[in-house]
Structure 1
Amino acid sequence: MAGGRTRATILGFVGALVVFAVLFTFAGVDKLVAQLRAADVRLVALVVLVTLGWLAAWAFSLRVVLDVLGVSLSVPQAFLVFTGAMFANNVTPFGQAGGEPITALLISRVTDTEYETGLAAIASVDTLNFVPSITIALVGAGYFVTETAFGANRRLEFALAAVAVLAIGVPSLVYLGWRRRYQVEARVVGVLTPAIRAIATRLPRVPVPTVGGIERRINGFFRAIERVATNPRGLALALGLSAIGWFFQMVGLWLAFRAIGTPIPLSIALFVVPIGAIAGVTPLPGGAGGIETVLVVLLVAAPLPAVTEPIALAAVVVFRGAVYWTPTVLGGLVVGSLGLRSRV
C-alpha cells in the first residue's frame, strides 16, 4: 500500500511539472522571470506573513473541533498539527481527500486519541472550510454582476455557474446525508468491513480486525461527526475562524499583485481564490499546477486591462509559492519530527 501511495505521489508531481511547463511556456518564461525579479521583496515577505495568519486561523478551527470532541490541544500544538495536515495534503494526490488519513494519524499520535476521532475532526474542518469559501465567492461574484459586463466573457460565466451549482448542490447533499446519516452509516459499515478484512489478510504482520472492532470504529467516526454537527457554539466559532483564514488567503493574492507592481481590486481576489481552490481535488499533489492554471485563467479573463498572462502568472507564483511551500516546509518538519520520535 505504501509503495502504491509513493508511486501515485511521484506520478502526481510529474503531472504537476508538466502542467507548470505548459503554463510557463504559454505565459512566456522570460517575461515571467522579469516580473518576478522586479517584485517588491517587502511585499513578498508580507504575503508569507498573511499565509501564517491563514494557517493559524484554520489551526484554531481544528482546535475548536477537537475541543468539541473532548480532545485537548494547546495553541502551539494545534498550529504544528495543522501544518502537518497541510503537508500531507500538499504531497498526496487529490488534496484533502488524499491527506486526511495521514492527518488523522498525526492527530491521533499527538493527542493520544483514537484514529477515528482524528479523522472525524479533520473531515469536519475540511467540510466547514467549504461554507465560507463559497459564501465569499458569491459576494465577489455579486460585485462583478453589478460593476462589470459579466456576459462578455464565457470563462467568467462558467466560473459563476460553477459557484452557484456548488452553493446549492453541496449543502443540499450534506443536508440529505445528515437526514439519512444512520442509513449511510449502515451502508458504509456493510461496504468497508469486508474490504478492510480482505486487505488486512494480505498484509504481513498486520492482525485481521474483527467485524465488531471495525463496526465500533466506524460508529465512533459517525458519532464524532454528530457531536460536532450538533454543537452550535463550536460550529459558529469554527466557521468564523475558517472565514478569517480564507480572507488571509485572499489578501495574500491581493498583496502578490501589489508586489509585482500591478494592483487589483480586493473583490477580484474574493472571487477567484475560492474557485481556484476547487482545483485542489485534481490528482495533483496539493492541486499544484491545477490551482495555478485556474487562477491565471480567471485573472486574465477578469476585466483587468493591465493584467496580462505574464503578470497574472507572476502574481500567482508569488501567492502560491507562499501558500503551498510555507505549510509544506513547516509541516514536513513536524511530520519528520514525529516520525523520528516514533522510532525512539
Structure 2
Amino acid sequence: MSEAIAEKDLGNAAYKIKDFVNAHIHYDKAIELDATNITFYNNKAAAYFEEKKYAECIAQCEKAVEVGRETRADYKLIAKAMARAGNAFQKQGDETQALNWFQKSLSEHRDAELVKKVKELEKTIKEKERLAYINPEIAQEEKNKGNEYFKKGDYPSAMRHYNEAVKRDPTNAILYSNRAACLTKLMEFQRALEDCEVCIKTDPKFIKGYIRKAAALTAMKEWGKAKRAYEDALMVDSTNAEALEGLRNVIRNDDEDPEKARERVMNDPEVQEILRDPGMRMILEQMSQDPGAAREHLKNPEIYKKLMKLQSAGVIQMR
C-alpha cells in the first residue's frame, strides 16, 4: 500500500509541472498496486482534464465512482469524481449531461460552490431552450388559430393559441394585444392589463396596446385610468376612431358617486405611496400656495409622472 501511495505522490509531482505523460505512468502503477483506492482514479481523471482529453476524463471518473461504490469510499471523493465528469461534459458542450452529473455530485455531498454553478447552468439551459423555441412563423400560425376561436367566442381555446404564439415570438407586441383582448373577454382584467403594459413597452407606437388597456380599465369601471389610456392612444394617433369613441364612452359613463370614487382612489396603493412621500407632500403644499410652481416641477420626469397619476385619480387639479 505504501508503494502505491509513493507512486501516487510521484504522479502528483509530475502533474504539478504539467508532465502528464509521467503523471499517468505513476498513477497507473499506483492502480496496479492498489486497485481499490478511488483517489488514484480521481487523480488520473484530473490529468486527462488538464490535457483536454474530456472523453478519457469522463471514463476515468465513471471508473472512480464504480470503485468508490464497491469500496464504500468517502462520499466526498465520489462527489468529486462526479463533479469532474460534469466539468468535462460542460467543456464538451453537453450541458444537459453536465447538469446531470453535477446533480449526482450534490446528492453525495452538497458543495456550496457547485450549488451556485448548478443554478447558473440551469438558467443557461432554460434560456437556450427558450430561445430555441422561438419561431415567428409558428407564432403567426398560432395567432391566426387564436383569432379564429376568438371570433367564434371560444375564448379559452383562443387563449391556448395566444399563449403558444407569445412563447414562439415574445417580442411581438401584437400578440400581447390579442391576448389582452381575450383576457378581457374572460374577465381576467389584471392579467389583461399586464399584457397591455408589455405590449406598450415593446412597441410604444402600437396604438392597440393603449386601447386594449383602456378597454380593460373601462370594464373595471376605472374611469379615470381608462380616460388616461385613451388619451395616451390619441397621443399616438389623434384621429383614431376607436380611441375617440372609447374616450367619449368613458366620459359619458363616468357617473360614479364622488364619495365612492374618492374612497376607491385613496385605496389605490400607488396613490397612497405618492401621498406618503414627504418630498411629494412638500411639492403639493408648494403648488397649493403658488400654482405657478407646478411648471417647474413638471420638468422633472419622475415628479411629472406622479403628478399626472394624482391628477388622473382626481386627487389634484392642474391647468
Structures share a fold, TM > 0.5?
A: no
Q: Which has the higher helix share?
A: 1
What is the TM-score of this pair, normalised by structure 1? Answer: 0.19
What is the TM-score of this pair, normalised by structure 2? Answer: 0.20
